[in-house]
Amino acid sequence: MTYSFFGTCVNDYDQFFGCLQTILEQTKPPNQIILIDGGDKDIEKKILKKLRNSEINLVYIKKKLNRVKSLNIAIENSLSEYSFRFDTRTRFANDYAENALNILNDKSSIVEVIGGVPRIISEVNNFEGITCSKIMNRPYIFFYPKHRNIKYSGYATSIYLGCFRTKSLKEIRFNEKYALISEDSLIINDFLKKGFKAYLSSKIRVFYISRSSFKNILRLFNTYGFCRANTILVSRKIFISTRHFFVFVAFISLLIVFLKFSFFSIFLLPLLLLCLNFSGEIISFGWNGNFLIPFYATLCQFLWIIGFIWGFLSIFRNIKKQSNFIS
C-alpha cells in the first residue's frame, strides 16, 4: 500500500519543518510528500536535503493560492493509493500512517476516509501559551463533538485532516466556492453524501501545536464561525451533524425564554453560557480544573458567533475573501 502526505504552507516554515520531521519518522514512510507553498521563501532545497537519505519523492509547487485551491492542486499530484493530509502545526505519532493504513484496509468495503482526534500541545512553555492550549483542549467549548473526544472510536461527520483513498478524493475534492470554509467538515459531508463512511480511531494518534497568543486564539474562533457560515452556504445544509441541530434548538429555546421576560434579558445569555462552561470544566476536571478557562471560553464562543453572523452578511459583498483568515 502506497500513500502520500499532502498539505500547504504560507510562511510558517518553522512549523512545517517540525511537521516534516514527524513524517520522516513514520514506521512506514510515504512514497510522496506534496507541498503547495504560498509563502515568500523557496524551501525546496532545504526539504530535499532532509529527504536525501530516503526514497520519498517530493512534489514542491510554489503558488500563492488560498488553502482549498492549494489542497486540490496537491491532490491532483498524488500518485499513491492513499493520500494523508497534513497541516504545518500537526505532529504525527510515528505509527500514525501504519495504523491508518491498517484500519483503511480492514474497513475497505465502507470507509473511504479515517483520522484521529488531535491532542493539543502548547507552542511555548509560558502562562499564555499553556492557557491557549488548554482552551483548545476543552471539548465543552465546542459542545462535545466526537472529533474532540480522544477516547472515541467510531463513525463521524467531521475528521481533522483525514486519511483518504486517493481515487475517491480526486473525484470529490475540496469545495472551492469560498476560500474560508470548514473544509474538514465539508469534505467529510461530501463523502457521506456519496454513500461513503468516515471513521475516527483512538489508535491514530496526532497532535496539534496550539497558537500561543490569546489574541490569535480569539481570531481563530472568529474565523471558525465565519467558516461555518460559509460551509452552510456551500453545502446548503444548516446542520451537518445532529450535534449542530441540538445546539441550535437549545440556543433558540433559551432565546425565546429570555425574550418572554424582556428584550434586555437576552444580555443574560453570556452569563448562562459562562455557567455552562464552568459546569463543563467541573465535569471534565473536578474541582482541580482551571477556572480561568471558562471565562476565556465564553469570550471565544462569542467571537465565534460574531464570525458566524459576519459570514452570512458577507454574501452581500461583491469581493469575496480569498485568504485563510479574517483580516
- 262 in the same domain as 143: no
Give a yes or no: residue 36 inside a domain. Answer: yes
- The Cβ-side half-sphere exposure at 84, using a 13 Å CA radius, reads 30
The domain boundary residue, chosen from 173, 202, 233: 233
Confidence at residue 185, expressed as pLDDT on a 0 to 100 scale = 79
- 178 in the same domain as 92: yes
Give a yes or no: residue 325 inside a domain. Answer: no
Give a yes or no: residue 327 inside a domain. Answer: no
- 296 in the same domain as 185: no
CA dist 50 and 57 (Å) reads 12
The domain boundary residue, chosen from 182, 199, 233: 233
Confidence at residue 239, expressed as pLDDT on a 0 to 100 scale = 62
- 251 in the same domain as 213: no
Over residues 130-158, the pLDDT tens digits come to 999 999 989 888 888 888 888 888 988 88
Query: What value does the mean pLDDT take over residues 59-78?
Result: 92
- 262 in the same domain as 220: no
Full domain range(s) for residue 238: 234-316
CA dist 87 and 179 (Å) reads 16
- 83 in the same domain as 145: yes
Query: What value does the mean pLDDT take over residues 250-266?
Result: 70
CA dist 101 and 273 (Å) reads 41
φ, ψ of residue 115 in degrees (nearest 5): -175, -175
8 A C-beta contact, residue 42 and residue 64: no
What are the residues whose beta carbons fall under 8 Å from the beta carbon of 149, sequence distance 6 or more? 117, 139
Query: What value does the mean pLDDT take over residues 86-113?
Result: 89
Give a yes or no: residue 326 inside a domain. Answer: no
First vs last C-alpha separation in the chain: 42
Confidence at residue 323, expressed as pLDDT on a 0 to 100 scale = 46
Confidence at residue 324, expressed as pLDDT on a 0 to 100 scale = 47
CA dist 133 and 249 (Å) reads 29
- 241 in the same domain as 199: no
Exposure letters 265-294 (e unless 16+ CB within 10 A, then b):
eeeeeeeebbebbbebbeeeeeeebeeebb
Give a yes or no: residue 324 inside a domain. Answer: no
- 135 in the same domain as 82: yes
Give a yes or no: residue 105 inside a domain. Answer: yes
The domain boundary residue, chosen from 192, 215, 233: 233
**CA distances, 163 to each of 103, 108, 282 (Å):** 10, 13, 34
- 79 in the same domain as 185: yes
CATH number at residue 228: 3.90.550.10
> How confident is residue 223, by pLDDT bands cut at 50, 70 and 90?
confident
Residue 123 scores a pLDDT above 70? yes
Q: 134-138, 163-167, 252-256: which range is least confident on average? A: 252-256
Confidence at residue 127, expressed as pLDDT on a 0 to 100 scale = 92
- 241 in the same domain as 229: no
Confidence at residue 327, expressed as pLDDT on a 0 to 100 scale = 35
Tally of domains within the chain? 2
